[in-house]
Amino acid sequence: MTLALRSRHTVPSALISKKPGSAEPFFNGKGELNASNKTEALQILGSLMADVASNKVSLASPNEQEDFQALRKQRQETLLAAFNDRDGSSWQELGATIGAEISEVAHRDGFMRRFYLRADLAQGTMPRLRVKYANVTAIYSASASQVYPLFVRDKYIYPPEFYVLGNIMVEQREVAQGAGDILEDAFLRAQENIMVQEDTIMKSEFDASIGVANAQQLMAGGLTPASLAAFREPIITWGLPAEKLLIAANIWTDIVGNASAWSALFDPVTRFEIVQTGYLGTLLGLQILTDAYREPNQRVLNAGEMYITSRPDMLGAYTDRGPVNAAPIDQQLHGIPARGWFFSELLSQTLANARAVVKATR
């Protein structure tokens, strides 16, 4: 089953939308940022963030938007046919499609799966993570809401597995009234329950590490080249490479506001496909990622938050038991005219070395 589930079709794509106050689009015909220099690239990315946040443009590709009405009609017809299929096979297939799409998006766009190293896990075995350094403090998750410190004396950590769950329901009344784009809404809610939850758990592990090895830093004057250099210093002091910088949406205003100072240090990403993932480029050798391009309810960072991390093999690891599972639910058996899916995945997530992450706020 092929459906366009993850685009916001009601606004034009950034690939064809014009830059503010310009007749030139954000990206050229090759899908590259329309910027003549690094300073302009910083400013354009800032404008793009603002337009996405205000729902003026989207990061959907134009081929996902060529005929919004036709795509919406296709999704509605697919949902209606599956909802009214009494044997449940179409509804189960639709749920499996959504689950597979969530897994694909999480691997490409999710922070946890890009910051942590994936550890192989065979059927019938327990998670076992080999750490590079002993005598450090790790932070592991016992559930989607519980994190605990662990002093690592040996070469291995045995993290517990836990479930990440999502329960998405569609009422018969919604289907009958054709209320909005129900199928896309179901996908976005499931994505919030799964991918966003994965990232939130990782952030909880990062926050739990504050003060264990690295103190939280406060940037009273905002982010500057000097403060960024000082921000990454704790990780380097431990002899670890500083690799990624994760920033909240409003941090970019500090960079754009002083574009001339940052441009010499900034190597921007110009390809549309890469910008879609929240990857902006490199700054002082750090890969910059942000959740500014996500739906507002799918952002995981609070205003003013920043994290610098080391390489995945120095930072932490996760295990999973395969793609997101989708089990169909029929609430009519309980006297409720609704059907849905119960999404689940079995994970372990571990920040293996508290020295490998540092947090700052402004």
Instruction: Say what the pLDDT of residue 169 is.
Output: 93
Q: Is residue 70 part of a domain?
A: no
* Average pLDDT score over residue span 191-200: 94
Q: Is residue 285 part of a domain?
A: yes
Instruction: Say what the pLDDT of residue 247 is.
Output: 95
Q: What is the pLDDT of residues 75-130, one digit of tens each?
A: 888 888 888 887 889 999 999 999 998 998 899 889 999 999 999 888 899 999 98
Q: Is residue 45 part of a domain?
A: no
Q: Is residue 232 part of a domain?
A: yes
Residue 220, domain CATH: 3.90.1690
Instruction: Say what the pLDDT of residue 252 is.
Output: 87
pTM of the model: 0.90
Q: What is the pLDDT of residues 141-152, one digit of tens each?
A: 999 999 999 999
Instruction: Say what the pLDDT of residue 99 is.
Output: 92
* Average pLDDT score over residue span 49-64: 78
Q: Is residue 291 part of a domain?
A: yes
pLDDT range class, residue 8, cuts 50, 70, 90:
very low
Of these ranges, 84-93, 279-288, 329-338, the one predicted with the greatest mean pLDDT is 279-288
Q: Is residue 44 part of a domain?
A: no
Q: Is residue 32 part of a domain?
A: no
Instruction: Say what the pLDDT of residue 258 is.
Output: 83
Q: Is residue 26 part of a domain?
A: no
Burial 312-335 (b: 16+ CB within 10 A, else e): bebbbbbbbeebbbbebbeeeeee
CA distance 44 to 29: 16
Q: What is the pLDDT of residues 221-256, one digit of tens each?
A: 888 899 999 999 999 999 999 999 999 988 988 888
CA distance 6 to 9: 9
Among 73-87, 146-160, 291-305, which stretch is predicted with the lowest mean pLDDT? Answer: 73-87
In the block, residue with structure tokens 């997530």: 349
Among 9-23, 251-265, 290-304, 316-330, which stretch is predicted with the lowest mean pLDDT? Answer: 9-23
User: In sequence order, what DSSP letters do the residues of 180-210 get, joined into one string?
Assistant: S-HHHHHHHHHHHHHHHHHHHHHHHHHHHTB
Instruction: Say what the pLDDT of residue 179 is.
Output: 63
Which structural domain, as residue segments, surrounds residue 260?
A: 87-361
In 172-313, where do the E strands start and end? 217-218, 244-247, 266-268, 279-283, 286-290, 305-309
- The total number of structural domains in the chain stands at 1
* Average pLDDT score over residue span 175-201: 87
